[in-house]
Chains A and B, each alone.
Chain A
Amino acid sequence: MNRFHIEMESTKLANGLDVVVAPDSTAPVVTVGIYYKIGFRLEPQGRSGFAHLFEHMMFQGSANAPKMQHIKLINSSGGVLNGSTSYDVTNYYEAVPSNALERVLWLEADRMRALKVDDENLKNQRDVVKEEVRVNVMNQPYGGFPWLDMPPVAFRNWANAHNFYGDFADLDAAHLGDVQAFFKTYYVPNNAVLLMLGDVKAEEGIALAKKYFADIPAGAPPPFADPSEPEQAEERRGNVEEKFGTLPAMAIGYVMPARRTTDWCAMALLDQALHGGRAGRMHRDLVLEKQIAVEAGGGIDDLFGYNGPTQMTTRILHKPEYSSQQTLDAFDAVIRDVRENGISADELEQLKVKWRSDYYATLEGGRGGYLPKFGLMHLLACFTLFDNQPQLVNTILEGFLAVTREEVQSAAKKYLRNERRAIVFRTPIKAGVADSAGKKEAA
């Protein structure tokens, strides 16, 4: 078996900024990322959606790079850039020809040191964010399902249960004072990690990190609200209307075990057994064999990237001639089978090979698609911020490959229980379209 090893070097600057460099001179391209350890989970109450709105503000101007300059300077260096907000981190990243590395570091340091934005910028980005929510959620069939529909049903702590994209009233209420306070509290070097991956030497990367970031003063350690959930003891259910789509849908989420435990590794393989594409049991049973569902997939969203309560969630769109109960019964049969019978040695072996293969793919490209080493950046950042161990990227695979059949079945029995789950039904407000020639075909 080939083992794939990532070369890296890491350090912590005096101001608390973590720095990780992973050199690889295959292509004359370098990916730079900064991750701040704050996401939408712990954004201020009464300001739902603020962490994401704030992420937009980070592109609106800093002390020496006014509005539009940040984007212009990266694009005109031959690079691409973006940012994203998730549960527990917010990231900013660029992939550029390696001759632009210093320029990128200068820009990132400038906005870590001093954000410089005004009311006009805030109004502009509030408008942009509202169109983002409309295009991704409010004007799309099954928009936000289940990632926005599930939390208020599944969780009781506001941190885990609120609208992460933001209620429009909360977005409207946000003002410049909130922006500056959030920046001052969480966007401090001692709450961040800087990553350089690709065409940069380790010692060069660390020297440049010092050159551009060392004089940014540390901030007070940021306060973090407690995201823990009271123990769930009953199945929870909720309903959401579907405005455009005509197929009934449901999502079933089970609370996950704590990160980096044996149960967690077993659940990751169980997730592959249940949701691993066309070979996964959900798709195979519900779509291919019983033909109740049109779509049955999902699983753990970003296994390595969360640092608080989360779920493994199955998303099902089913044919209207099957009731919700019939569909749920078919889903439950899949769960029951894995709880009662576990998985075979042969299936476990297949899952491990696929898991290893997928892990390598994540390291090379991953969720960014167009962005080289996005996945490696994400893993190194999360392992640094959550575990203080970027080297985990080279060892974490072992834990998954060591999982036994007994551990998989034990995790299924322990975590795939009705009193640990929540179900959201997304119900179309209009029935199927009348003029469809193929209507009876779907029976």
Chain B
Amino acid sequence: MASRAMEVAIGVPALAPERAVTWPKRTRARLSNGLEVILAEAHSIPKFHGELFFRSGNAAVADRLPGLAEMTATVARTGTTKRASRQIEEDLRRIGAELSSGAGADTSAISFSGLSEFAEPLLGLVNELAREGSFPEGEFERERRQKLEEVKMERTQPGFLASERLRKILFGTHPYAQVSPSEAQVAAYKRKDLEAVYRELYAPANAILLLVGDFDSNTMLKSAEKVFGGWAGKKPDSKAAAAPPNPRGRRVYLVHVSGAVQTQILAGCHAITRKHPDWVKLGLTNSLYGGAFNSRLVMNIREDKGYTYSPRSGVSALRQHGYFSVSAAVRNEVVAASLTEIFYEMDKLRSVPVPQPELADAQNYLSGVFSMGLATQDGLLSQLSTVALNELPDDYLETYRQKVRALTPADLLETARKYLDSANMQIVVVGDRAQIESQAALFGDLEVFGAQGARLS
């Protein structure tokens, strides 16, 4: 490796003493019908942000059809017993609000923001969408056709093709393997199936309402009780799917896209959930590896070698399982060279303790960025929802920085050995087979798939 020697900066001002980071007080309440409510005041702008989460998403109903919770959320916003689609959209605009509905693997959500002066009408509309969705036939049909075009479109995007393939490999028959329905599955969606999902999952005992913004918590809580208090419904049965087998041995999966002028690399392995005691350790290890601009991988394959624009690594935590992954879109000639560096940096973290100054830098980075969540209403909402949905301890926000700062080089070495599982990484490359197959095959047994999902060899 012909790396340049690192030079140091001269005359850099020292950091001033840190100002204390004070997370706002959270008000937690449970309404008479069992709905859990969490509020936090943030008076940066005269607005507020909210999420009505349901603790069930696509995985909970995957045995029926993939993506069914997402489709349910999509159609739920298109009509209620009181308002037609156009009325809903105009009423939102009338109060200056944004609203979206969707579902991931583990949750369904109605997300919204609006002017504080119109808080109650907005909560009223959210309540109506959560309880009185009418699933109009025409809207369902239109959204279903729209979805068909979306799933066709996804298959032309290298990033989608890579993550879809990786999830299939890592999760096998577990519902987490399904990131998107096929066209045939969308064609099989029925209005009554959506209504059934809606009746089962959209219940107060399965929900959590988070509100952050420019309001008085007591007043807002009264509004919430007034709006949502009459909502009844029982908690749906939840069944956990059997744990997926953890793939052993490095293997390569090539998704062929004819004429691709670049190759999307995505490699991953099983890791942990946010509740796991190693979570903070893995977060810091990831930050050193490829989770920050200043990380080893970015400095290597971008700033030193110029192979790629946006390399990164991350830990994706789903509720039951998590996985670690690393990605880079690289020019076709350097697929093998990039993979070599990706594994080199992983193996180095697994074999050589991180020097103390580099560790301190990464600790500062992670704890500083964590506190940025304080500065905006949606940033704070996102932190609060992470805590609530993962059932993390109440003092998670307050103690996170201390936990990061307490870690040692030995902790990181151990963590890298456990979770940056280079010998068992599953490697996906999306690109033109003729240009990259021989390079990719250097890294393990290789299978080739088409963009539509069929195995080509």
Chain A residues within 8 Å of B, Cβ to Cβ: 1-2, 4, 24, 26-29, 64-69, 71-81, 95-103, 106-107, 120, 123-132, 134-135, 138-141, 198-199, 243-247, 276-279, 284, 287-288, 291, 294, 319, 349-351, 353-354, 356-358, 360-361, 363-365, 370, 372-373, 432-433, 435-439, 441-442
Is B47 touching A76 in the complex (CB atoms < 8 A)?
no
List residues of chain B with CB within 8 A of the CB of A69: 7-9
- Chain B, residues 298-335, CB within 8 Å of chain A (1/0): the string is 01001111111110000000000000000001110000
Kindly state whether residue B19 has any CB partner on chain A within 8 Å: yes
Question: What would 9 more interface pairs be, CB under 8 Å, given A76-B361, A129-B309?
Answer: A26-B44, A64-B12, A68-B299, A98-B16, A127-B331, A132-B309, A276-B93, A279-B90, A372-B376
Complex: A357 Cα to B119 Cα, angstroms: 13
> Does B355 interact with chain A (Cβ within 8 Å)?
no
CB distance from B149 to the nearest CB of A (A): 4
Among A26, A97, A125, A358, the residue within 8 A (CB) of B18 is A97
Say which residue of B260, B310, B377 sits within 8 Å of A364 (CB atoms).
B377
Shortest Cβ distance from residue A367 to the other chain B in the assembled complex, whole angstroms? 13
Query: A353 contacts which chain B residues (CB < 8 A)?
Result: 93-96, 115
Number of residues from B at the complex interface, CB < 8 A? 95
Q: Does the CB pair B85–A442 fall under 8 Å?
A: no
Rank and list the top 8 A-B pairs by shortest CB-CB distance, nearest first.
A78-B368, A357-B96, A127-B306, A76-B361, A372-B375, A75-B294, A437-B184, A28-B19
Q: Which residues of B contact A432 (CB under 8 A)?
A: 152
- Expressed in whole angstroms, the minimum distance between the Cβ of B432 and any Cβ of chain A is 10
Q: Which residues of B contact A102 (CB under 8 A)?
A: 13, 16
Contact residues in A for B6 (Cβ distance below 8 Å): 68
- Give the most central of A98, A103, A199: most B CB within 10 Å: A103
Q: Is the CB of A67 within 8 A of B9?
A: no
B36 contacts which chain A residues (CB < 8 A)? none
Q: A138-B261, A291-B142, A319-B149 in contact; A246/B369 too (CB < 8 A)?
A: no
With most chain A CB atoms within 10 A of its CB, the pick from B21, B114, B261, B331 is B261
The answer to whether B294 and A71 have CB atoms under 8 Å apart is yes
Instruction: Mark interface residues in B78-112 (1 if CB within 8 Å of A CB, else 0).
Output: 00000001100110111111100000000000000
Question: Which residue of A106, A140, A437 contacts B12 across the interface (Cβ within 8 Å)?
Answer: A106
Contact between A68 and B303 (Cβ–Cβ < 8 Å)?
A: yes
- Whether B15 and A71, one on each chain, are in contact in the complex, defined by CB atoms closer than 8 angstroms, is no
Check B178 for interface membership: any CB of A closer than 8 A.
no
Residues of A within 8 A of B299 (CB): 68
User: CA–CA, A72 to B155, complex, Å?
Assistant: 37
Residues of B within 8 Å of A2, CB to CB, are: 46, 115-117
Residues of A near B182 (CB, < 8 A) are 437
Q: What are 27 A-to-B residue pairs whose CB atoms are below 8 Å?
A: A4-B46, A29-B372, A29-B374, A64-B12, A68-B294, A71-B293, A71-B294, A71-B303, A76-B362, A79-B365, A99-B19, A101-B16, A102-B16, A103-B15, A125-B306, A131-B307, A131-B310, A131-B330, A139-B261, A277-B93, A294-B149, A353-B115, A354-B96, A356-B115, A360-B115, A361-B113, A442-B148
Tell yes or no: B43 within 8 A of A by CB.
Answer: yes
Question: Which residues of chain B are near A284, meaning CB under 8 Å?
Answer: 86, 89
Do B115 and A134 touch (CB < 8 A)? no
Q: Mark B135-150, 1 if CB is under 8 A from A, else 0.
A: 0000000101110111
* B303: A residues at CB distance < 8 A: 67-68, 71, 124, 128
B294 near A29 with CB under 8 A, answer no
Contact B371 A28 (CB under 8 A): yes
Are A438's CB and B331's CB within 8 A? Answer: no
A139 and B260 contact, CB distance less than 8 A: yes
Complex: chain A residue closest to B295, CB-CB: A75
Check if B393 is an interface residue, CB within 8 A of chain A.
Answer: no
| Closest B residue to A62 using CB positions | B9
Is the Cβ of A361 less than 8 Å from the Cβ of B156?
no
Q: Which residues of A contact B329 (CB under 8 A)?
A: 131, 134-135, 139
Complexed CA–CA distance, A97 and B367 (Å): 10
Most chain B C-beta atoms within 10 Å of own C-beta, residue among A120, A198, A278: A278
Give complex CA distance A436, B4 in Å.
51
Q: Which of B12, B45, B95, B309 contacts A360 (CB 8 A)?
A: B45
- Least distance between B425 CB and chain A CB atoms (Å): 22
Please give the distance in Å from B150's CB to the nearest CB on chain A.
Answer: 8
Nearest A-chain residue to B6, judged by Cβ: A68
A350 and B145 CA atoms in complex are apart in Å by 30
Judge if B411 is at the interface, Cβ distance under 8 Å. no
* B10 contacts partner chain A, Cβ-Cβ < 8 Å: yes
- List residues of chain A with CB within 8 A of the CB of B377: 364
Contact: B292 with A75, CB < 8 Å? yes
Q: Which residue of the partner chain A has the closest CB to B287?
A: A75
B445 at the interface (CB under 8 A from A): no
A105 to chain B minimum Cβ distance, whole angstroms, is 8
> Please, how many angstroms separate the alpha-carbon atoms of A59 and B93 in the complex?
42
Given A102-B13, A361-B47: A140 and B20 within 8 A (CB)? no
Give the distance to chain A from B435, nearest Cβ to Cβ, in Å.
Answer: 12
Which of A4, A27, A198 has its CB near the most chain B CB atoms (within 10 A)? A27
Please tell me if the beta carbons of A199 and B19 are within 8 angstroms of each other in the complex: yes
B372 x A95 contact (CB < 8 A): yes
With a cutoff of 8 Å between Cβ atoms, the chain A residues found around residue B16 in the complex are 98-102
Q: A71-B294, A100-B15, A291-B142 given as contacts; is B89 within 8 A of A27 (CB)?
A: no
Assess whether B115 is in contact with A127, with CB atoms less than 8 Å apart: no
* B67 sits at the interface (CB 8 A): no
Distance between B263 CB and nearest chain A CB, rounded to angstroms: 9
Task: Give bound CA distance, A428 to B149, whole Å.
Answer: 15
B177 neighbours in A (Cβ, 8 Å): none
